[in-house]
A and B are shown apart, each in its own frame.
Chain A
């Protein structure tokens, strides 16, 4: 059997249905073999988008997303997407073509050391030098990507390896990876210490991260929070870990959450952190170092990495460990603590629009996302790009029930939303649902080539562009750091793209809105359409608050 055909046989065995790829010279044998495969190929328009499609697909389906690119520039174009998946612990497998084995190291045409270039941000990687290794490598790659703490795995395959003919195909029954044994169950002694710490605590809080979403532990987290009567705050990646309409929900913590959430966190005497990696954007290590702390994570290296004094580390899967805690009697906190939290939250909600200048024109993004949240179904997936649009959507669109909020949380990769939301559409194509991609005019232009894919496949994607003619979040930081207007530097987008006309060229139904009322009408129309739509909302450039 031809090695390239064997590759597809192995991918089919792993349940792969779709590959987001872009062909090239070093992938010719693989693309030729793909003709006879059941796996469907989605031709992306730039390799940079391919890992984001796989990322959105993986986050929607819970399966491993697969992307593919040729050697050299194709492979290097994948790098940002691989790094994005690494920082957000998203299971993807990236397959790259490589030059012939005898050309490796010669600076041959389209040769790049993608194995070396991606080393710092892959969970694992392979350079397949022997075609007999293909079955083992593929099996290991999917296993490693999807188990333990998920992440991206790279498989680099030289062209002449793809072309070898194998007389004997090795059969892999069982994997043997001696250095990879993820821990799922919490240590019994540690669980007891957790229970004791909860009991001792007067003002406990829960901080939930992306690990809760990845392990599907929402229900367990709700039960634990209710048993403890503790407020729950999340990181950006933790949005969806806890229903945002729940009375115990206290907001997103970190640099882009509400100050009131920070206030609640500071008042707590104990933090039970689960599936969160204590990033500088989502956490204050100084605040956490002052508290009693329980840290539950499947990756032992995350415990003690950023916060020095973790009192009780528990290594294990969020769903399993929370389940183990719930098997015991859990101490309820004094009701006075939650009353205090509710007072702070109520005060916040009463005054949360006080910082707005009434003279601002255009669409008010807060009103828009609050209305959208009240309007769309309870299983909507909203994919936010990076920038002001991301924070508006996170703070004003409520994630509850089966809704999902996806974003590039760790790397903050602009150009994420369009391909990732398309990946969500591909992943849900058998049971179509409402999928919304939110961009700014900056991030939209980073990925707008992918409109061709959306049009080609008539994806039911609802694109929203918050157009303020600026790189809004950088501009906001310039405003807050340097004050006066003349300190804005390089953040004007001086050519205003006619987004509606552009989308219409691709056959989208497209709408332009310059007022709240028009935005609601446009979106109402868009949501009725079976195919792709775009709604452009004109936003005042001085609307820089979240």
Chain B
């Protein structure tokens, strides 16, 4: 059965590394849901967090094929119970004098922030796991979401590894 899995990759910060990874996914027909790339404490190393949809056998192959890339140093699956994973979302929602305070109130309940205000819209920022974001989007949707952007999930393993 296909389920979502979060993979954390430690890669060498070298020319073409992202191309190699995306080309691998395209060529072997793996499904990639989201991907984030960022610096780490070591400037020669980057961290990539990706969410993939795969059954167990395909997931195993994804990990092995990623490990086969010379520039990929380590592949770790971020399992829910052993790691933290969050996503950042900006939502531009319709808001006028009549609805603004309701939206702000909902945002407060979810610990979302208002980061921009104009006369007929708001931009909200929320951070959290997929469930929390889904619940928040459901609450905001009736007010009219103009557009939104999601960063994709990023995460770390808990404790010392």
Binding site for B on A (CB under 8 A): 115-116, 119-120, 123-125, 127, 129, 144, 177-180, 299-301, 304-305, 308
Contacts and interface: CB of A to CB of B under 8 A. Distances in A.
Interface stretch (B57-65, B116-124, B144-152): B57-65
Given A178-B73, A179-B73, A300 B16 contact: no
Contacts of A179: 11-12, 67, 69-74
A177 B57 CA distance: 28
Given A116-B19, A119-B23, A177-B70, 17 more contacts: A119-B16, A119-B19, A120-B23, A125-B16, A129-B15, A144-B70, A178-B73, A179-B67, A179-B71, A299-B68, A300-B64, A300-B67, A301-B68, A304-B57, A304-B64, A305-B61, A305-B64
A304 B73 contact: no
A438 to B, nearest CB: 33
Contact of B16 (A115, A123, A144): A115
B70 A301 contact: no
B27 interface: yes
Contacts of B12: 178-179
Contacts of A115: 16
Contacts of B15: 127, 129
Interface residues of B, number: 21
- Closest A-B pairs by Cβ, 6 of them: A301-B64, A179-B73, A124-B70, A178-B73, A119-B23, A180-B70
A116 B71 CA distance: 15
Contacts of B23: 119-120
B47 to A, nearest CB: 14
Nearest to B75: A179
B42 to A, nearest CB: 11
B20 interface: yes
A119 B20 contact: yes
B134 to A, nearest CB: 34
5 contacts: A120-B23, A179-B70, A300-B64, A301-B64, A308-B57
B7 to A, nearest CB: 15
Given A120-B23, A120-B27, A178-B12, A301 B61 contact: yes
Nearest to B16: A115
Interface string B11-29: 1100110011001000100
A129 B14 CA distance: 12
Nearest to B74: A179
Contacts of B19: 116, 119
Contacts of B27: 120
Contacts of A305: 61, 64
Nearest to B23: A119
A178 B14 CA distance: 13
Interface string B37-59: 00000000000000000000100
A344 B23 CA distance: 46
Contacts of A119: 16, 19-20, 23
A365 B89 CA distance: 69
A124 B16 CA distance: 11
Nearest to A303: B64
A127 B68 contact: no
A70 B113 CA distance: 56
Contacts of B65: 301
A125 B71 CA distance: 10
Interface centre among A116, A124, A178, A300 (most CB of B within 10 A): A178
Nearest to A128: B15
A301 B15 CA distance: 24
A131 to B, nearest CB: 15
A540 to B, nearest CB: 42
Nearest to B57: A308
A118 B73 CA distance: 22
A53 B67 CA distance: 31
Contacts of B11: 179
A178 B12 CA distance: 8
Contacts of B61: 301, 304-305
Contacts of A301: 61, 64-65, 67-68
A278 to B, nearest CB: 13
B19 to A, nearest CB: 7
Nearest to B14: A126
Nearest to A120: B27
Interface centre among A179, A301, A308 (most CB of B within 10 A): A179
A304 B71 CA distance: 23
A403 B20 CA distance: 39
B56 to A, nearest CB: 10
A299 B57 CA distance: 16
Contacts of A180: 70
Contacts of A124: 70
Interface centre among B67, B68, B73, B74 (most CB of A within 10 A): B68
Contacts of B72: 179
B30 to A, nearest CB: 13
Interface centre among A129, A144, A305 (most CB of B within 10 A): A305
A301 B19 CA distance: 20
A127 B19 CA distance: 13
B143 to A, nearest CB: 45
A145 to B, nearest CB: 11
Contacts of A127: 15-16
A299 B73 CA distance: 16
Nearest to B11: A179
A179 B15 CA distance: 15
B25 to A, nearest CB: 11
Contacts of B16: 115, 119, 125, 127
A72 B23 CA distance: 21
A476 to B, nearest CB: 31
Contacts of B71: 179
A116 B27 CA distance: 13
B72 to A, nearest CB: 5
Contacts of A177: 70
Interface string B73-100: 1100000000000000000000000000
Interface in B127-158: none
Contacts of A144: 70
